[in-house]
Structure 1
């Protein structure tokens, strides 16, 4: 193989020597770099996207040399950054290139960071947070001034999030420092290429979209088991024998779960079934970094047969020869599932192989809908991109840390980033005013005066301690306070395994056992922000609960699940127990459809249950539950509690609900006064304010080398929130908080669309007993108490599987 005008001989020869061929999209990015065209590359997993993004830089650095930072590679994951740094060694050494690469993340030692600032490498691989930190220093123009290329990997995974807004602003600053740099965005799965291309571009000029050749359709099956599927629940313990057999038959497997707690449980159950002593471990973001790195190295070298993982591994880490992906639990999104499946068989010309393991009967429909979507080449993704405002405040201070800032120039810079292209100047000025002194009330306190205007009209930091505080807290990921988990071996010695959220530790008493890092540990005490524990023998472990574990059901999948109810011909792909469940539902009640909302009402003992089959996800159902129960209370229906799932909402009452009540309960005006009253009374806005205040720099999680407890942060932000509500109700941070709550906590857009779509098309069915479809809804384990006259009643308890079977027998008897 020989080179071409675009591809030098040494590159072509290296590919030939490895038995590879250069893909068209890899050649295309080399041409795009030489023509200075920013490009969004959409290519299937295993198609060499990362090498495509960096190959132009490798060639340019080798042929033209560089005495400065040439290329910046930005990844959403530290693990991915480290993985790319490791994998670039092969092409650099194999082609004989004189290229120096390094990585910089939150785990990079301070001495190495200082050296990188003094003498930057040719290619630096980093995360958005580490990049923004570097941009906050006065030497940023020197470090980034010669930048020729920026590569943003896995762009689809975070572009439409607050972290994506944060990254877009960092890219806007890079455009100021290095106007001629080229941007490459790399994405495996994206439903909205044009939107992503706009995000990657700047000043209204979107990047060019290049779509690579398609990979073979993945081979996806739903796991069949001897045991009938549970009606409810969120784990797949019933399928452990079959999951283990699939792992044993494959060479190397990744088992994806949707939460960190599920990962710990799944590992524990697999080890109980592991008669062959297969090397199986766990991987999630709360594990200690050394343990994560060890797992990465073992997996890449083929020393593990399986790893149970969360979304921390669903992006582009090269795991070598992975034969099988097992998705435990419903996928929640087609694009997310396809991304995870792409971890298997990391080769472009061969199909990936995957097994889907639903944890309950509703999830079988979701799994089937996802399989059909992938077979038809349909993707889903975020449709409503709403730019966050607290991120802009942090960015203003970040720029001021590096050099004096001009509001006019900074406004032009911010609005050159696609998420903020439409931001009105008045809104920017309000955010800038907050960055200066906090506003009318807070401006009376020196603590909140961060910027001051000089005689030249530029704004500078009031003191260098502002920069120190800011740099310790850069980022948009506001987590609950965490404690290190230390496994003790003697009176004082031990090994740190990772971290848990503080509130979990507060619920433990000495002797309690819990599951962490694949081990059952016995809690002893908390000392110096460290949870000390020892290996436990036996006992039923408690499971760490992690913040942010639940992923939303995509709108597309929700619609496809609704559609499946109306397509009995598609049920042949479902397990027999699920087909019988649906057929019985049709007999005793009715099935949901695409044009209306099914609502069922029935009694059990003293209590009455109303089930709303919304299929709108947990956030929307949570909000609807709070609003409906408030309205029920006013109507004298005596609500007791409600439970939610992705698929619906179940309200427990002491009084009977009739068809005549439904129009009032679900009228669109429930999002008016009812919503405002609830928000005013609930602690939800205070929770949102804590997040916004932390990102905006009103308070810090890290200060003077120590990390504040969540109790300290909460006390501070609650006090400020109450003060602003009382004395400055039009404060910009309160409006930012309201916007954030509606977006992150309430999912108001989705709920509003649903109420508008179905009103008044309700299908109310009064039943003598629970329908088959209602049984999983009654088995939800989390109930939200409702204030009111029904609270004195006994709360309905989660039904066990044997009780669910008895309820099904009742339904069969009713059907004759």
Structure 2
């Protein structure tokens, strides 16, 4: 029996907490972790993954006499992508450790320096930390690092998929490799996630020396039904229609709900309209029920909203971006609502898992689409979810930007490293395993020549430029953060907004569920001063684009060209889908072919290839058009590329296809890729530290992030082409 495997104190703790049974992931994980085996714990939101990891780990520490006065040093390192998640998990872990006398410390920018320094003088127990704070610790406390990490026995990576899907994961991988030199033993690696598309990638990430030695535990969620419906309300002049707002209001007014949106602007607009609808219907009796939650809302406001969701028994809805997609506890919900399609299956699975958290309860998801494209994408993503497909992680390999960052960090941490030793260290680091050694040497030499590094007594240390960068507050994170203004109403911090030429006095901004007029901008202090606005002017907000995975793009095309019926579509949504399918048929869409629509002044290729493949295709075509001497320009949309701006010669579609097949099947070096790129990286450097690098390195990074040439080769070779003439030709 699993319960009997645990230590006496942990058994008593379970009795005190009145647990009646373990969840499936806890049943699976406890015996494996008690054997101190590396493992990946895969289970849905609210399945008890945190306890599945900590119950056996705490039992192992107790059985080894490593509690109370017998506990020496740091034993468990817990890495999380979010400070908010650390704060949330701190309380859960503390409930398990309070009778074991195992110290628990959270380390991030909100924790006082004095508390951190006191613990650092006598490190013990469990440390919860973000990657950025771990980097800071390694760089700024070099004399204490060896003693700090020598006794670590367990390393836990929470929300592992969030690391695998981003540059932060590569950063973490490099940090863990740098820690190896201080460890007296190989720690047990534990990954926690609700959504991993390729477990084998996670296994290699957790323990590259022996990926097959990482146990994959995926017992499946306890049986529950999923109730899902999708509806359609078309936008009115780019704004959300009142009929949609009223439908959402009627659905959520008596429930506890998370309403997910895909942008901060959408969150603010919908929150405002829902509360205005409530006021119109209830008058003075209305109490605010809808609250926004996104990264630009003041942290204190976000934490208050989370606490309200956890504790109140009253109907309440939080309107959120992906800030509530990960495992922050907001209690049990009646319903999850998604406005417009998610950009990934992983995201939909995470959001769906937010409901049905109580044992024996089901999951309820209501999806709304406001544009045809979103309706079709919502169906495609839902069908892939039902097929149990999730985007596989695709870590970058041309990570010269991260190498630049880590060379500076490593030379600071070690207080100087001999050049040959530095090269050996980089070659052994799995993060940089696929970099060409000649390019690594070229980058290192450039850093020495440009004073990012210098050699003193044979050792590489940061030069003047490098020292300045390492000591900046922005050094520890590898992700880009926009310049932000603080938005102030009197002395109250409302939140933040991205600095932009569009932010000016007289403009209005939606923030915190209210509309504000900008009265003054203090550029020097980074402050925007506002007053409540009532003029009804459409508020300012900035939103970015979205990337589409090739598998999702292909599924979207299959929805357009198929005849399947989907029982989760409302009659209104089903009718709109049928209209979309009829229009697609008129445009020549049919299963298994790629359509080129050829007119007198424009040629449109409906690729449905995915964002990165399409970017590569567009770049190749720009180079080819330049060589052809045609005055045509390229315009991209999510699923098509249009050549326009001049006369389209007859038979041009066939010529274009011949070019693509020829260049992508017979040529390994694509001169057209070089010809089709702008003089500078489009939209600026492709990553945070790429901006510091020579242009050739910036190009290699940009190409990998923005363009999938090899994927395009595969796509082109698989296509059957169909040219359709329009405009009477």
| TM norm structure 1 | 0.78
Report the CA distance shift for 1:230/1:183 in structure 2 as closer, same or farther (over 3 A).
Answer: same
2:656 is matched with 664
Which residue is 1:223 aligned to? 230
Distance 2:609 2:359 in 1: 35
- Indicate the RMSD between aligned Cα atoms, in angstroms: 3.3
Q: Deviation digits for residues 772-798 of structure 1, max 9, x if unmatched?
A: xxxxxxxxxxxxxxxxxxxxxxxxxxx
SS of the aligned residue for 1:56 comes to helix
For residue 337 of structure 1, what is the aligned residue in structure 2? 348
Of 637, 644, 662 in structure 2, the residue corresponding to residue 644 of structure 1 is 637
Query: Which of 434, 441, 445 is equivalent to 1:429?
Result: 441
For residue 219 of structure 2, the aligned residue among 207, 213, 217 is 213
Give the match for residue 94 of structure 2.
Answer: 89
Distance across 2 between alignment mates of 1:411 and 1:213: 43
Whether the 8 Å CA contact 1:298–1:304 is kept in 2: the answer is no
Aligned to 1:267: 271
Query: Aligned to 1:279, which of 266, 289, 296?
Result: 289
Contact between 1:637 and 1:656, CA under 8 Å: does it hold in 2? no
Gapped regions of structure 2 (runs ≥ 5): none
Residues 575-724 of structure 1 correspond to what in structure 2 (within 5 A)?
575-585=573-583, 588-593=586-591, 595-601=592-598, 608-621=601-614, 624-625=617-618, 628=621, 631=624, 638-639=631-632, 642-645=635-638, 647-656=639-648, 658-664=650-656, 667-668=659-660, 669=663, 672-679=670-677, 681-684=678-681, 687-688=684-685, 691-693=688-690, 698=692
Aligned partner of 2:307 in structure 1 is: 297
Task: Kindly tell me the number of residue pairs found equivalent between the two proteins.
Answer: 700
- The one of 483, 486, 509 equivalent to 2:485 is 483
Change (3 A) 1:8 1:616: farther
| CA distance in 2 between partners of 1:468 and 1:405 (Å) | 16
Please say if residues 34 and 57 of structure 2, whose CA atoms lie closer than 8 Å, have aligned partners that are also in contact.
no
Partner SS, residue 514 of structure 1? strand
Q: Is the 8 A contact 2:165 2:393 kept in 1?
A: yes
TM value normalised by structure 2: 0.87
Whether the aligned pair in 2 keeps the contact of 1:393 and 1:434 (CA below 8 Å) is no
Q: Is the alpha carbon distance of 1:462 and 1:83 closer, same or farther for their aligned partners in structure 2, counting shifts above 3 Å?
A: same
- How is 1:383-782 mapped onto 2 (pairs within 5 angstroms)? 383=394, 385-386=396-397, 388-403=399-414, 404-435=416-447, 437=448, 439=449, 442=450, 448-454=451-457, 457-461=458-462, 465=467, 469=471, 472-487=474-489, 489=490, 494-503=491-500, 506-527=501-522, 528-546=525-543, 549-570=544-565, 574=569, 575-585=573-583, 588-593=586-591, 595-601=592-598, 608-621=601-614, 624-625=617-618, 628=621, 631=624, 638-639=631-632, 642-645=635-638, 647-656=639-648, 658-664=650-656, 667-668=659-660, 669=663, 672-679=670-677, 681-684=678-681, 687-688=684-685, 691-693=688-690, 698=692, 733-758=694-719, 761-768=720-727
Deviation for aligned residue 1:42: 1.3
- Alpha-carbon distance change, 538 to 111 in structure 1, aligned in 2, over 3 angstroms: farther
Deviations 1:495-518 (A, max 9, x none): 222222222xx2233211122222
Distance 1:357 1:34 in 2: 46
CA distance in 1, matches of 2:649, 2:257: 50
The residue aligned with 2:66 is 64
- How big is the shift at 1:657? 5.9
Correspondence for 1:115 = 118
Per the TM alignment, residue 218 of structure 1 is displaced from its structure 2 partner at its CA by 5.3
Aligned-partner Cα distance in 1 for 2:574–2:470: 62
Range with greater deviation from structure 2 (67-76 or 191-200): 67-76
Q: Does the CA-based 8 Å contact 1:128-1:167 persist in structure 2? A: yes
| Structure 1 residue 557, shift from structure 2 partner | 1.6
Specify whether residues 22 and 198 from structure 1 end up closer, same or farther in structure 2 by C-alpha distance, changes over 3 A only.
same
- CA distances 1:720-741 after superposition (whole Å, capped 9, x unpaired): x7xxxxxxxxxxx434311211
SS in 2 for 1:57: helix
Moved more, 21-30 or 275-284: 21-30
| Aligned partners of 1:103 and 1:124 also within 8 Å | yes
> Are residues 344 and 8 of structure 1, via their aligned partners in 2, closer, same or farther at CA, if it must alter by over 3 Å?
same
Indicate the larger mover: 239-248 or 747-756. 747-756
Return the alpha-carbon distance in structure 2 between the equivalents of residues 373 and 16 of structure 1: 42
Q: Is the 8 A contact 1:400 1:461 kept in 2?
A: yes
Matches within 5 A, 1:116-155: 116-136=119-139, 137-138=141-142, 139-155=144-160
Give, in angstroms, the shift of residue 266 of structure 1: 2.0
Q: Distance in 2 between matches of 1:368 and 1:742?
A: 31
Q: Distance in 1 between matches of 2:534 and 2:577?
A: 42
Mark the CA change 1:45 to 1:449 in structure 2 (over 3 Å): closer, same or farther: closer
Secondary structure, in 3 states, of the residue corresponding to 1:600?
Answer: strand
Deviation of residue 197 (structure 1)?
0.6
Cα distance, 1:145 vs structure 2: 1.7
Which residue is 1:156 aligned to?
Answer: 161
**Does residue 53 of the first structure (1) align with residue 53 of the second (2)?**
yes
Name which of structure 1's ranges 658-667 and 123-132 shifts more when overlaid on structure 2: 658-667
State the alpha-carbon separation in 2 of the partners of residues 235 and 617 from structure 1: 27
- Give how far 1:526 is off: 1.9
Q: Structure 2: how far apart are the matches of 1:628 and 1:246?
A: 48
